[in-house]
Structure 1
Amino acid sequence: MSRGPTALVSVLMGVAVFLVYAGLSVASALVLWAVVLDPPPLWVLSVVFVAAVAVFGYVAHRLGTIRLLTSLESTELSRGRAPTVYRRLERLTAEMGLRQPQLLVAEMDAPNAFSLGTPTQSVIVLDSRLFSLLTPDELEAILAHELAHIERRDTLLQTLVVTAMRLLVTVVFVLLAPITLLLLGIDRGTAWIAGRPRRRQYGLAWVFQRSIQFTLGALFSVLTLGLLAYSRKREFAADSRAAEVTGHPVALARALAKIHRASIPRRGILSLLYIEQKQQRPPEWLSTHPETERRIERLLARADRPVESPAVARLRR
C-alpha cells in the first residue's frame, strides 16, 4: 500500500477514535448534567452515601477478617486447654457488658495479640508464645486491652473511614469523567493521525489525570495521617480502659515490656539489623501505634509509680 492511502487510513482512524471518546464524554456529561439540573435532596444523597459506606465497609471488614484469619492458620483455643484464661475472659466480658469473643491461637512473626469484630461478634487472636511469656495477670491485661478495642468498635470504624475515603475519590473521578474522556479522545485521535497510535502519549489527558491524582493523593495523605493519629489515640484509650477494668495498670505495663523485649533479636546479624532499623525508624506520626515506652510510662503514672521503672529502663538500653 502506498504512503497516501496509509496516511488517509490513519486520519480516518484518528477521527473515529476521537468521535468515540467524544461521544462517551457527551453521554457522561448529559447524565451528570441531568443530575445537576434536577438533583435529589441533600438528605437523600447523604443517606445513599452513608448506606454505601456501611454496606461496602461491612463487607470489606468481614472479608478482611476471613482472609487474615485464614492466612494465619489460626485454631480455636478450647476451654479445656486454658480454663483460667476463659474464667478471666468471662469476668472481663461481664464487667464490660460484651458478648464473649472467640479465642484463637496462631503462630505469628512475633509475640502479639489483636482483636477483630464488634461487641456482638468478635474474635481475639493470641500468639502461642504469650502463654509462656506472660503471667496470668499480664495475659488478662492484654485480653482487657483487646476487649477495649472491641467495645469501641475500633476495627470496624477504621474500615468504614477508609471505605468513605475511597468512595469520595471514586465520586470525584466520576464527576471528572467527561473531561477525562474528551482529553483522551484528543490524545489518542491525534496519535492515530500522526501515524503513531501505539506510542505512549504524555498529552493533555496524561497531564490532567496526573494533576487530579496528585491533588487527591495529597488529600488522601492528609486524611491518612489523621487516621494514623486516631489509631495511636485509640491505643492509649484501650490501655486506659484495660487498666480501669482489671485494676492493674502495672500488669499491662509489664506485659507490653515483655512483648516488646521478646520481639527484639537477641544476637547475630538480626540483632544488628534491628538496632540499625531502630535508629532509622520513621517518626511516630507515621505509625499506627505509639511507642511502647510512652504507653508504659502512662500506665505507670496511672498506678502512681515512678516513671523510670525497670521495664522502661530495659526498653531504653
Structure 2
Amino acid sequence: MAIVGAILFAFYSVAVAAAWFFFGQSQSILALAIVGSILLVGVQYKIGKWAALRSVGAEDMDEREYQQIHQFVEKVCRERNLKKPNLKIASMGVPNAFAVGRRGNGTVVVSRELIQLLDRDELEGVIAHELAHIDNRDVITMQLGQGIASIVGIVAQYIVLFTGDNDLADFFLAIVVGNLVQFFVMLFVLAISRYREYVADADAKRIIGGGDPLARALEKISEGNKQAAQQRQQVARGGRGRGGRRSRQRDGGVDQQVSALCISSPDTSALAKLVSTHPPMEKRIQRLRS
C-alpha cells in the first residue's frame, strides 16, 4: 500500500507541477490545484457511496432475521479491532455482495440471492472478503486513484490548449489527449484493484481458516451470474419479438458502477480483463485452493 500510495502521489505531483509550470509559477495556482483536487475526491467519495447503496435499493439487515450474519461480523470485527460496519441487504437479481465506505464507517451489502444460494461457511467467506476490503481501506484507495486519474486528464487537456493556438483543432486535440492520459492512469488504478482482490481473498482465507469455502462460493456466484445473464438475454429477445421493441421490464442485474465494487465481475474478453476491476475468477479460485 505504501508503494501504491507513492506511485499515485507521483501521478498527482506531475499533474500539479505541470499546471504550475504552464499556468503560472505562483503559490496561489498550486494551492488552488491542491484544494480543488481534495474537494473533487471528497465529493466523488460521498456521492459514490450514496449512489451505490441507492442504485440497488439497499435496506438495513434485520438483526433478528439474520442473526448468524451479524454475529459472524461482530466476531471478525473484534478479532481485527475493526468497528462493525453497517450491514444491508438488497435484491440485485444476481448473487453478489460489495462493500463501501472507510475503516470505521463502512457498509457491507449482501444480495438476497447470495444468502439463498450459499451455505453458511461459503457466505461467511464472502462476507470476510468484504470486511477485508474495508479493513484494508481499499475503497478509499480506489476512489483516490480515480480522482487522480481525472485530475491528470484535466491538466493534460489544459496543457494542450495553452501551448497551442487555442483554436477549434486544439480544443478537439485536448479532449483526445486528456482522455488518453486519463485512460493510461486508470489502467494502473485498475491493476491495483485486481491486486487488492487477491489480497482480500487471502485475508478472508485467514479469517475463516481455509480457502475452500470462499472458492466454492466464487464458483456458485460465477454460475449464478451466468444463469442471470442468460435469462436477461432471453427476456431481451422476447421483448424484441413483441412488435420489435425491447421490453422495459426490469430483469435483474447490477449497475455497471456498482459491479466494480462487487465480489464478482463477469469480464471474459482480453480487453475486458485489461480494464476489469477483478482478476479472472478461475485464478482467484486456484489461489484460494493452493
Q: TM-score, normalised by structure 2?
A: 0.73
- Paired residues of 2:267 and 2:273 also in contact (CA < 8 A): no
- Paired residues of 1:141 and 1:251 also in contact (CA < 8 A): yes
The alpha carbon displacement at 1:300 in A equals: 0.3
- Paired residues of 2:156 and 2:177 also in contact (CA < 8 A): no
**Which residue, 41, 55, 64 being the options, matches 1:80?**
64
Counting only pairs closer than 5 Å after superposition, residues 122-133 of structure 1 correspond to structure 2 as 122-133=106-117
**AA of the residue aligned to 2:210:** H
SS of residue paired to 1:73: coil
The separation in 2 between residues aligned to 1:281 and 1:171, in whole angstroms, is: 30
From the superposition, tell whether residues 129 and 74 of structure 1 become closer, same or farther in structure 2 (CA, over 3 Å).
Answer: same
**AA of the residue aligned to 2:38:** A
The alpha carbon displacement at 1:79 in A equals: 0.7
**Which residue, 292, 298, 308 being the options, matches 2:281?**
292
CA deviations 1:256-309 (Å, max 9, x no partner) are: 1111111122878948x9xxx9875645222111111110000000xxxxxxxx
SS of residue paired to 1:59: helix
**AA of the residue aligned to 2:27:** P
The separation in 2 between residues aligned to 1:282 and 1:172, in whole angstroms, is: 25
From the superposition, tell whether residues 254 and 178 of structure 1 become closer, same or farther in structure 2 (CA, over 3 Å).
Answer: closer
For the aligned residues, what is the CA RMSD? Answer: 3.0
Q: What residue is the counterpart of 2:47 in the other structure? A: 63
Give the aligned length.
Answer: 240
Q: What residue is the counterpart of 1:154 in the other structure? A: 138
From the superposition, tell whether residues 96 and 51 of structure 1 become closer, same or farther in structure 2 (CA, over 3 Å).
Answer: farther
The separation in 2 between residues aligned to 1:62 and 1:75, in whole angstroms, is: 18
CA deviations 1:182-208 (Å, max 9, x no partner) are: 64xxxxxxxxxxxxxxxxxxxxx2221
The separation in 2 between residues aligned to 1:112 and 1:288, in whole angstroms, is: 15
- 1:250 paired with 2:234, answer no
Identity %: 26
- Paired residues of 1:101 and 1:122 also in contact (CA < 8 A): yes
From the superposition, tell whether residues 76 and 237 of structure 1 become closer, same or farther in structure 2 (CA, over 3 Å).
Answer: same
Q: What residue is the counterpart of 2:126 in the other structure? A: 142
Q: What residue is the counterpart of 1:89 in the other structure? A: 73
Q: What residue is the counterpart of 2:179 in the other structure? A: 217
CA deviations 1:113-146 (Å, max 9, x no partner) are: 0000001101001010122211111111111100
**What residue ranges of structure 1 are gaps of 5+ in the alignment?**
1-31, 184-204, 302-317
SS of residue paired to 1:265: helix
Q: What residue is the counterpart of 1:169 in the other structure? A: 153
**AA of the residue aligned to 1:104:** K
CA deviations 1:176-234 (Å, max 9, x no partner) are: 55567x64xxxxxxxxxxxxxxxxxxxxx222122223322222221111111111111
SS of residue paired to 1:81: coil
SS of residue paired to 1:221: helix
Bigger Rg, structure 1 or 2: 1
Q: What residue is the counterpart of 2:27 in the other structure? A: 40
The alpha carbon displacement at 1:156 in A equals: 1.5
- Paired residues of 1:61 and 1:159 also in contact (CA < 8 A): yes
Counting only pairs closer than 5 Å after superposition, residues 220-235 of structure 1 correspond to structure 2 as 220-235=182-197
**What residue ranges of structure 2 are gaps of 5+ in the alignment?**
1-20, 238-265
- Paired residues of 2:22 and 2:162 also in contact (CA < 8 A): no
The separation in 2 between residues aligned to 1:294 and 1:213, in whole angstroms, is: 37
**AA of the residue aligned to 1:240:** A
The separation in 1 between residues aligned to 2:193 and 2:113, in whole angstroms, is: 25
The alpha carbon displacement at 1:98 in A equals: 1.0
- 1:121 paired with 2:110, answer no
- Paired residues of 1:53 and 1:160 also in contact (CA < 8 A): no
**AA of the residue aligned to 1:98:** L
- 1:108 paired with 2:92, answer yes
The separation in 2 between residues aligned to 1:245 and 1:235, in whole angstroms, is: 15
**AA of the residue aligned to 1:70:** R
From the superposition, tell whether residues 120 and 34 of structure 1 become closer, same or farther in structure 2 (CA, over 3 Å).
Answer: closer
From the superposition, tell whether residues 206 and 109 of structure 1 become closer, same or farther in structure 2 (CA, over 3 Å).
Answer: farther
From the superposition, tell whether residues 211 and 249 of structure 1 become closer, same or farther in structure 2 (CA, over 3 Å).
Answer: same
The alpha carbon displacement at 1:59 in A equals: 2.0
